[in-house]
Structure 1
Amino acid sequence: MFIKSLLTLSVAVAVTSAHANEFVLEKLAKPSSQQVSLTLDPAQESFNGMTKITLEVLRPTNYIELNGVAYATQMAKLLGAENCDLSTEMLKTGKVKFSCDEQIQPGKYTLKVDFTAPYNRQSVGLYKTLDQGVPYLFTQFEMSDARRAFPVFDEPSYKIPFQLTITAPSSQKVYANTPELKTTINGDMTTHFFDKTPPIPSYLVAMAVGPFEEREVKGMPIPGRVITPQGKIHLGEYAEQAIPKVLAALESYFGIPYVYKKLDSVAVPEFPFGAMENAGLVTYREDILLLDLATATRNKKQRNVSIIAHELAHQWYGNLVTMKWWNDLWLNEAFASWMAAKITAQLNPEFESHLDLPQNNVMALDARLSTKPIRKPIKTEADIMDGLGLAYSKGSSVLAMVENWIGEKAFQQGIRAYLKEFSYKNAEAADLWQALGKASNKDVAAVLKSFIEQSSFPLIKVTQQGKTISINQSRFTNAGVDAPAQLWNVPVAIKYGAGDKVKTANVLLTKANQTVELEFEAEWIYPDQGALGYYRWVMDDQQFAALIDNAAQSLTVRERLALLSAADALLDAGVISAAHLMQTLEAFVSDKHPRVANTALGYLAAQKRTFEDESNQDLWPEFIRKSIMPAAKQYGLTAKVDEDAAIAQLRTQVVTRLGFDGEDKSVINTAKAQARVYLNNPEKVDPYLASTYLNLAAFHGDKNLLNAYINTFKTTKDPQVRTKMLAAMSYFATPELQTKVLNYSLTDDVTASDMRTIMSGQMYTKAREALFISWVYENYDKVAANLPPFFVPNLPYFTTSGCSASSLAKTQSFFMSKIADEPGYARTLSKLEESVNNCISLKERELDSVNSFLKR
């Protein structure tokens, strides 16, 4: 799975405790295969079905448990040596108790259940959505939503063959995980019989019903199609070309052929995540899978390839070999993210995806005391979703660090051995650690456990005395935070140089303090060669100044990007002042690589979001304008023929900052004009600047412009245009128009998945933020009902304003009363309190420093 925008006990203990809780099925029966027959008509609001589960009752019992949510059982029978009519009780824990008046003896049985259920309308389970007014049916079963569609043992350890039979109107196309074996027609209904799947967990079962279009994907060892809603198939060309290349690269890396009988890729107009790795029927948000090549930017193409690679990597890691329990979902997603980065860089080096540093996106979150390890006990879906994004980025970064430490060849050998041993089975993290350790003859488990089963990360302090380097590790914390002491096993790579000489010293740091002897006395030191370490580093002011002086000529682009992130983190830790950080960032705004300049500008803008208040609000526009002038002068504000995409991406940052933060009238007027052009013909607007122009125009727009955005949103068949309209609507500034947009988000035009996009821009400016927060409070019931269920616990983040203690208090008061209905709020409020208090502390500590810097 890919999220658009996942653990500290041993596995045995985690699984035992999980299986002792009320949300986990009692081990009374074990399935061996399941048949599911459904009658599905997208024009209706509900469906009916029948399932037959071949199972073994493990011990004498009067009942067995399956999972179930929202369906109604019409008939339930247990057929075997003795038959029993079962009564059913649907529990609040996502389970259904099937009870027999007589004791059921151990042995083999068939459980037969007839049932009815509504189509879900919140993007989970078997759900219905409308596209251009036409109904479609899709599924999203991960994490635990197969139970909404049919009775099932809905836990990953129950890995069995499924066989689907779907009856639908003959006008509809029907897809499932496997090839269609035959069809039969009865009046205006057609029954589709699908082949049996290999053993898969229930969360990988998938289907789609609707009047789809399709195009064949050629060049694969198995058949495959790109499948889209009506009128969009022409946008599938780029994916069609990418999929065979990605599949071949993965088969080559793993040394195991793709094991499923087909590979279909479905563009889904309403989808709560980025994509889902269903075996043989992979689903994607349509704005990821479908591209108009006339307007596609490099980052959109990169996203297309990397997410395809992520989902196809899962066909081996996750599908062929599956976790035993959800406490290892982090590894599923971390591995797929790591693999996707490798494949994307291999197939499309022009994307410069090696410059993406996922660790920089999550280390600030990971440093908080309220953040849990990414491998942790799991009981509920809320536990799974807690820190899910952290698992992708931290997990993949740690895997990359370990691969760099043990070597690519040993890492690949370990992965291949692991996949071969556990094919079609379930495994746990320790199984992979063992395979990697055996392949490398290194204690991989000690390194990985220290990062995965602990939250946070080490702060590496480097001290130089001649040729001797002292390395000290401690837990990274924000300034003033008292955290328990921790130690890691850290592969540290120290790059150093003098004159023309550059070397690297590698050490596995296993203690609080160690020393390293360099080959020569270094003039400068960079404590993270290759920017592959999942740690922060610090050195004295003289060493840091020497590093900055040598960065342009001696550090790679990736290392310079990591240096900026490290400096930003040191502000949080209280090691450097805000003024010192901003001076450092200014030094990189004119970096020879536009990606570095772009990043430096981004960090400067982040300081405005943190420190802007009445004492300095008049100083920021001029500071932002001055900061971006070097890039604006060097590259200009309009695109040039055949320029590097990194320059175009930098220009987006420049124009955004000029328009929103610098309040540049010329840029704003250009945005207004270009937005009108885009509404008539998107191909005539710079694709890199289109979203910025649309957002700026909206912020300064009127009722007529909003109506034009809504009309385009409702009528376009281009998913990219649709998403841009949705995001831009969130920037309309007058109270009247902002309220109109917010109320529109509660209408049937806006899906549960789309609603989050409309919420994204509402926090820009204090006045708009205040109106939005009040609107959420006033419309809470409707807002919560319209969002995907797993997203609802995030609502407190949207009602808390920056560093405001009073806003936090109001959020706490409002949501504390709702914890009984939504337990996930308790976890969110705890994290939010720490985040706001850290922000308040930082602002109090550094505001004078920022103001003196701005007044230079």
Structure 2
Amino acid sequence: MKKLTLSALSLAIASASICAQANEYVIEKFAKPSAQSVSLILDPAQEQFSGSTTITLEVLTKTKIIELNGEDYNAKLVKLSGDGQCTMTANALKTGKVQLICAHEINPGNYTLTIDFDAPFNKQSVGLYKTIDHGTPYLFTQFEMSDARRAFPVFDEPEYKIPFQLNITSPSNLKVFANTEAVKQESNNGQTTHQFATTKPLPSYLVAFAVGDFEQLPIKGMPIEGNIVTTKGKIALGDYAAKHMPAILNALEQYFGIPYVYSKLDSVAVPEFPFGAMENAGLVTYREDILLIDEAHANQNAKQSSVSVIAHELAHQWYGNLVTMKWWNDLWLNEAFASWMAAKVTHQLFPEFESNLSLPQNNVMDADARLSTKPIRKPIKTEADIMDGLGLAYSKGSAVLSMVENWIGEDAFQQGIQAYMQQFAFKNAEASDLWTALAKSSKQDVASVLKSFIEQSSFPLLNITQDKTKLTIKQTRFANAGVDAPAQLWTVPVVIKYGRGDEVKTAKILLNKPSQTVQLDFEPEWIYPDENAMGYYRWVLPTPQLNALLANAEKVLTPREKRAFISGSDALLSAGLLSGGDLLKTLGQFIDDAHPRVVGMALGYIESQKGVFIDESNEALWQKYISAKAQSAITKYGLVAVKNEDPSISKLRPQLVSLLAFEAQDPAIIATAKQQAQRYLADSTQVDPYLAGTYLKIAAFNGDAALLKAYQTAFETTQDPEKRTNLLVNLSYFKSAALQTEALNYTLGDKVTASDMRYVMGGNLYKKERKALFQQWVMDNYALVSKKLPPFVLPSLPNYLGGGCSQADLDKTTAFFAPKVEEVAGFSRSLSKLNESVTDCINLRTREVASVNSYLKTL
């Protein structure tokens, strides 16, 4: 070990699997905190800040060492007060823990630890960071997962759930917000010190504050005070959230059976934010374009996104904040539950959004099937471990919770949740605690179901055969064709829907063996093995039964079931259980479906398969096929919105317009897009809000240097967060090499924030030659890119460069990043996943391209 100041520390997030004591990344329990006070001097106009912290703690065993966390600090004084007080020195271990060392042994007992420090404001959208919005500097915080330690020394693990008390001194002309209300303010020499009320017990990652020239809008109708808080000039866009937040909060209070427990509820729109939102207790932060909505001109997608994310973050005030995980291995449950709860509340309050047609499992099952994918509950050491599969945790976790609720019933599920909340309020809990509560309320073996899906990766494939009124269900692990996957067994709630004539019934079974049978009430004409698409599994039927289901699908399946059928058929292609030609035939059947959301999904999967199978030999065939399919829907729905049309049609139209522009290269569509893009730049409210982003993309792809400059100017000057994001995303679609390079170089300047860089990456993957340029640009500018990206984003960078079906892209990406696996935690894991993904894609193309081409030639 070497002596150092806190500024020299490079900390990894602590880890705890099941046995935290055996993990070298976890803070050794020489001491535990009971309360912490933090005093900070913050001026957004500066580049540095200073502060001090006082931690009341109990030394648990005779020791010379106390461990905690801290990063990027210059420690001026570290002092332990109490019996045997001492001035301490700071040492860092390679595991990332900070050891504060006393020259003599410290006896067990109660002490006070005081640390004075200063540090720079962060530049990567994490910790305590500075951002400049339209020339005005602001300070914000983002502490999850391991970044509270960048703002002040702290026991930065969720198990240490303690009260925090903040004192913030800043220029008197600025406003300061924190988790609690200010109870005292003192001004002197142009500076004001804000003393905030002590919080209820919180883990460090939920502490938050913001400093700047803010505007605020009171939220009326909540049981506690709250405000929408924005940077200058944007408060008028807070009306939509302020109007609907009380109803969302009330719905959550009713569901949990516990009133909101914190003293206030402020919602902050942050112009530079690395996530969608963050559930800080009493001070929830949001990316601007989610919280701030121009209700009169926004489309339903924007409104649904706003409502859903607000519901997600407010659900966390109970699940995650009131009851907190013991360790990051249960972060999956925090996010899964909040996602599940948000979907329930959104559909309850806004049925017109049709959020019940969303199938979160569709987003992740392809990745979940791979051998390189880990379970969503897994050992955690570094932040890269947490971020690995976090999207899987949201989507798989919420889908599995939905499956369990569907199995045990809504009432039993709610009773279990309420009992769990009551038992662990203001405490820490583990996943097994929830399973126990649900088992008690339902009198079902909930643990066996949840453990089999949460503690194993992948999911079951159900092979269903029929013998008159008897069905035999066999389960195996779903795997892509040619992959030798280890055998696994799940406990699966299965609900089978079947029918004959006008009669429709269901049969339920808890499948916990490799094979079981179920007796039906009559011999069915058709079978759908997943009523209402609630199961986290795939299924396959023999060809006669599959054909019978397809023949009856239009009249017997709901839109949600049809969407699941489409997704499941695509998966069967990957598994080698359906040919490429048969998949395209199946997808084509749904293009004329009565529900636009079904049509959109079918078209989306057709586009996806084009990405796998297209080459120089069949490019014209694909163009003809997709253009024809799009035209069928366009003929039905039209290219221009009509008054009072169903929003589901409005949501489908951008997909149709995009296909005409990029596949059919329709000159009229391209001309319209260019004209509408100019109109949007002048006044975004004058363009169809559903089509605006699509028009900007088409215009960019067919645009010149003047248009790129116009996008950049509008991006820098607009006060509308949605317009800003629209322009940001579409900066990446300019076609020529010179303009693509200019747009990429622009992201390295100070106009594009660290958290915004990801938004400019996606468009560069469109077209082989543009992806190649992007790949080389990242490699040439890696030092700058890696320094600017938020730390948790960097490990995923290889996925942007090497994904798809190209062995050459994979080889080049691997050669570049392999030497860097020691310096960036997560690169090794990303490369492993990338290799498996590309290999699967290449194998699929080799196996099925003849079938696909044969089908395309028949049209």
TM range (shorter): over 0.9
Write the distance in 1 (CA, Å) between the matches of 2:801 and 2:338.
33
Once the two structures are superposed, the pairs formed by residues 528-677 of structure 1 within 5 Å of their partners are: 528-677=530-679
Write the distance in 1 (CA, Å) between the matches of 2:663 and 2:783.
35
Native 8 Å contact 2:419 2:437 kept in 1? yes
**By how many angstroms is 1:502 displaced?**
0.2
Write the distance in 1 (CA, Å) between the matches of 2:94 and 2:612.
42
Distance 1:131 1:221, change over 3 A: same
Match of 1:7 in 2: none
**By how many angstroms is 1:835 displaced?**
0.3
Match of 2:480, SS?
Answer: coil
Match of 1:67 in 2: 69
**By how many angstroms is 1:295 displaced?**
2.3
Write the letter of the residue equivalent to 1:308.
I
Write the letter of the residue equivalent to 1:848.
A
Write the distance in 1 (CA, Å) between the matches of 2:21 and 2:756.
35
Native 8 Å contact 1:214 1:225 kept in 2? yes
Match of 1:375 in 2: 377
Distance 1:801 1:442, change over 3 A: closer
Match of 1:226 in 2: 228
Q: How does the TM-score come out when normalised to structure 1? A: 0.98
Match of 1:807 in 2: 809
Native 8 Å contact 1:68 1:94 kept in 2? no
Match of 2:292 in 1: 290
Write the distance in 2 (CA, Å) between the matches of 1:118 and 1:23.
25
Aligned counterpart for 1:849 among listed residues 829, 848, 851: 851
Write the distance in 2 (CA, Å) between the matches of 1:771 and 1:226.
42
Q: 1:314-347 deviations in whole A, cap 9, x for unaligned?
A: 0000000000000000000000000000000000
Once the two structures are superposed, the pairs formed by residues 750-789 of structure 1 within 5 Å of their partners are: 750-789=752-791
Match of 2:57 in 1: 55
Once the two structures are superposed, the pairs formed by residues 640-719 of structure 1 within 5 Å of their partners are: 640-719=642-721
Match of 1:307 in 2: 309
Write the letter of the residue equivalent to 1:496.
Y
**By how many angstroms is 1:209 displaced?**
0.3
Q: 1:824-843 deviations in whole A, cap 9, x for unaligned?
A: 10000000000000000000
Match of 1:447 in 2: 449
Instruction: Out of 605-614 and 137-146, give the one that drifted further.
Output: 605-614
Match of 2:665, SS?
Answer: coil
**By how many angstroms is 1:234 displaced?**
0.4
Aligned counterpart for 1:320 among listed residues 312, 322, 344: 322
Number of residue pairs aligned between Structure 1 and Structure 2: 844
Native 8 Å contact 1:769 1:801 kept in 2? no
**By how many angstroms is 1:452 displaced?**
0.3
Aligned counterpart for 1:796 among listed residues 787, 795, 798: 798
Match of 1:479 in 2: 481
Match of 1:144 in 2: 146
Q: 1:169-217 deviations in whole A, cap 9, x for unaligned?
A: 0111000000110100011100000000000000000000000000000
Native 8 Å contact 2:16 2:23 kept in 1? no
Write the distance in 1 (CA, Å) between the matches of 2:803 and 2:389.
21
Native 8 Å contact 2:16 2:380 kept in 1? no
Match of 1:409 in 2: 411
Match of 2:113 in 1: 111
Q: 1:142-168 deviations in whole A, cap 9, x for unaligned?
A: 001000000000000000000000000
Write the distance in 2 (CA, Å) between the matches of 1:730 and 1:148.
32
Write the distance in 2 (CA, Å) between the matches of 1:48 and 1:88.
18
Match of 1:165 in 2: 167
Match of 2:111, SS?
Answer: strand
Match of 1:5 in 2: none
Write the letter of the residue equivalent to 2:210.
A
Does 1:14 pair with 2:17?
Answer: yes
Once the two structures are superposed, the pairs formed by residues 99-498 of structure 1 within 5 Å of their partners are: 99-498=101-500
Match of 1:807, SS?
Answer: helix
Q: 1:477-504 deviations in whole A, cap 9, x for unaligned?
A: 0001000000100000000000010000
**By how many angstroms is 1:91 displaced?**
4.1
Write the distance in 2 (CA, Å) between the matches of 1:26 and 1:801.
41
Match of 1:518 in 2: 520
**By how many angstroms is 1:373 displaced?**
0.2
Write the letter of the residue equivalent to 1:15.
I
**By how many angstroms is 1:23 displaced?**
2.2
Distance 1:91 1:779, change over 3 A: same
Native 8 Å contact 1:69 1:90 kept in 2? no
Q: 1:558-582 deviations in whole A, cap 9, x for unaligned?
A: 1111110110110000000111000
**By how many angstroms is 1:665 displaced?**
1.3
Q: 1:30-67 deviations in whole A, cap 9, x for unaligned?
A: 00000000000000011000100000001111111110
Write the distance in 1 (CA, Å) between the matches of 2:819 and 2:319.
41
Write the distance in 2 (CA, Å) between the matches of 1:215 and 1:135.
21
**By how many angstroms is 1:92 displaced?**
4.6
Write the letter of the residue equivalent to 1:14.
S
Write the distance in 1 (CA, Å) between the matches of 2:67 and 2:626.
61
Q: 1:416-443 deviations in whole A, cap 9, x for unaligned?
A: 0000000000000000000000000000
**By how many angstroms is 1:619 displaced?**
1.9
Match of 1:827, SS?
Answer: helix
Write the letter of the residue equivalent to 1:780.
Y
Native 8 Å contact 2:82 2:112 kept in 1? yes
Write the letter of the residue equivalent to 1:527.
P
Write the distance in 2 (CA, Å) between the matches of 1:215 and 1:244.
14
Write the distance in 2 (CA, Å) between the matches of 1:252 and 1:394.
26
Q: 1:705-755 deviations in whole A, cap 9, x for unaligned?
A: 000000000000000000001011100010110000000000011001111
Write the distance in 1 (CA, Å) between the matches of 2:683 and 2:141.
34
Q: 1:763-813 deviations in whole A, cap 9, x for unaligned?
A: 111111111111011001101111000000111112215211122111111
Native 8 Å contact 2:369 2:457 kept in 1? yes
Match of 1:708, SS?
Answer: helix
Write the distance in 1 (CA, Å) between the matches of 2:769 and 2:601.
28
Write the distance in 1 (CA, Å) between the matches of 2:581 and 2:822.
45
**By how many angstroms is 1:552 displaced?**
0.8
Match of 1:506 in 2: 508
Aligned-residue CA RMSD in angstroms?
1.0
Write the letter of the residue equivalent to 2:376.
I
Write the distance in 1 (CA, Å) between the matches of 2:615 and 2:24.
49
Q: How does the TM-score come out when normalised to structure 2? A: 0.98
Write the distance in 1 (CA, Å) between the matches of 2:608 and 2:833.
20
Native 8 Å contact 1:731 1:762 kept in 2? yes
Write the distance in 2 (CA, Å) between the matches of 1:49 and 1:683.
46
Native 8 Å contact 2:382 2:825 kept in 1? no
**By how many angstroms is 1:13 displaced?**
8.6
**By how many angstroms is 1:21 displaced?**
2.9
Write the distance in 1 (CA, Å) between the matches of 2:532 and 2:773.
45
Distance 1:386 1:682, change over 3 A: same
Write the letter of the residue equivalent to 2:765.
M
**By how many angstroms is 1:136 displaced?**
0.5
Q: 1:215-268 deviations in whole A, cap 9, x for unaligned?
A: 000101100000000000000011001110100000000000000000000000
Native 8 Å contact 2:337 2:397 kept in 1? yes
Native 8 Å contact 2:16 2:26 kept in 1? no
Distance 1:801 1:278, change over 3 A: closer
